[in-house]
């Protein structure tokens, strides 16, 4: 995909998440808010970050960028701040900017440049923590978000657990079938192949 096209799609995703009627509808439910608006904003930021990384690669920054992006995302998953974003326009603006620029963009930037091990590590950690978050939503005996019903919280919790399972099964299937999690080492980069392999090829 061309970089310009990637940026255009990113802008479309962000715009879709922010169109007033759509935004209001997405924010009206916990599930649509966190499984609808959040991914649109994150995806938009990530596409921009990925495009930037393709234009200005900087390998060492992958891990810090991924960590920063995940921390920013984690902040906006705290029920206290989900409520704040719904109750206060300034907080909602901060949420949108953070999810696009502080979470999505560094996640896209870091993911684009991360090798297979780092990608797998992030994937595995996100999967296990999604499962824990899902369990928390289901186990806490009271509402976590004042703005949403407890019944929605239960649905959200189940969806988080399902997402975690899907991540594990999906990554497992891709690894079995040979989908590369990381970039192929360029010529002259990466460890040298074992000698016996050269013998065999010769």
Partner 1 sequence: MNSAITDTEAQGQDITAQSGRFWVVTYLAITGLVLLLMMVFGLLMRLAQAGWLAIDPSLFYEIMTVHGVGMVGIASLGGVAVMWHFLARYVSLRAGVLAINLVLFLVGVVAMLAADFIGGFAAAWTFLYPLPAVSGSVWPAWSAELHLFGLLLVGVGFLLICLEVGRALIAEYGGLGRALGWHKLFFNSDDNVPPPAAVAAAMVVIVDTPALIAGAAVIVMSLVNLFAPTIAINPLLAKNLIYFFGHVIINATIYMAVIAVYELLPRITGRKWKTTRVFLAAWTLSTTMVLVIYPHHLLMDFVMPTWAMMLGQVLSYINSFPVLVVTGLGALAILHRSGIRWDLVSTLLFISIFGWMAGVVPAVIDATVVVNSVMHNTLWVPGHFHFYLLLGLLPMIFAVMIHLARNEDVTPRGGDLTAILYLLFGLIFVIMFLAGGWASVPRRWAVHLEQWQIWDKVASVMAAGVIVIATIFVVMFLARIPGMLRQK
Q: Is 135 in the site for partner 1 (CB under 8 A)?
A: yes
Contact residue for partner 1 among 57, 59, 64, 190 (CB under 8 A): 190
User: Of 40, 42, 46, 131, which lies in the binding site for partner 1, with binding defined by CB under 8 A?
Assistant: 131
Alpha-carbon distance of 154 to 31, in angstroms, equals 10
Cα separation, 95 vs 77, in Å, equals 10
Quick one: which of 55, 56, 186, 196 contacts partner 1 (CB under 8 A)?
A: 196
CB 137 within 8 A of CB 76: no
Instruction: Confirm or reject binding of residue 146 to partner 1 (CB under 8 A).
Output: no
Q: How much of the chain is helix, strand and coil, in % rounded to 5?
A: 80, 0, 20
CB atoms within 10 A of CB 123: 17
Is residue 200 a contact residue for partner 1 (CB under 8 A)? Answer: yes
The reply on whether position 181 binds partner 1 by CB under 8 A is yes
Q: Which listed residue (93, 125, 146, 151) binds partner 1 by CB under 8 A?
A: 125
How far is Cα 116 from Cα 178, in angstroms, rounded to an integer? 12
Q: Considering only 7-15, 24-32, 105-113, 135-143, which stretch makes contact with partner 1 by CB under 8 A?
A: 135-143
Please report, in angstroms and rounded to a whole number, the separation of the first and last CA atoms in the chain. Answer: 37
Binding residues for partner 1, rule: CB under 8 A, are: 115-117, 120-121, 124-125, 127-129, 131-132, 135-136, 139-141, 164, 168, 172, 175-182, 184-185, 190-197, 199-200
């Amino acid at each position: 995909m061309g970089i310009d096209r990637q940026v255009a799609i990113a802008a479309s995703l962000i715009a879709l998440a922010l169109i007033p009627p759509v935004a209001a509808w997405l924010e009206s439910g916990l599930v649509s808010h966190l499984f609808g608006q959040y991914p649109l904003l994150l995806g938009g930021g990530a596409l921009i970050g990925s495009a930037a990384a393709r234009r200005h690669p900087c390998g060492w920054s992958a891990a810090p960028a991924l960590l920063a992006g995940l921390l920013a995302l984690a902040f906006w998953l705290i029920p206290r701040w989900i409520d704040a974003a719904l109750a206060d326009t300034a907080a909602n603006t901060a949420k949108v900017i953070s999810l696009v620029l502080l979470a999505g963009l560094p996640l896209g930037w870091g993911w684009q440049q991360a090798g297979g091990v780092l990608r797998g590590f992030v994937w595995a950690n996100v999967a296990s923590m999604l499962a824990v978050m899902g369990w928390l939503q289901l186990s806490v005996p009271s509402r976590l978000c004042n703005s949403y019903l407890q019944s929605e919280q239960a649905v959200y919790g189940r969806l988080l657990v399902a997402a975690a399972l899907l991540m594990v099964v999906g990554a497992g299937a891709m690894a079995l079938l040979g989908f590369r999690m990381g970039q192929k080492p360029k010529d002259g980069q990466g460890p040298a192949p074992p000698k016996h392999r050269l013998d065999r090829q010769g």
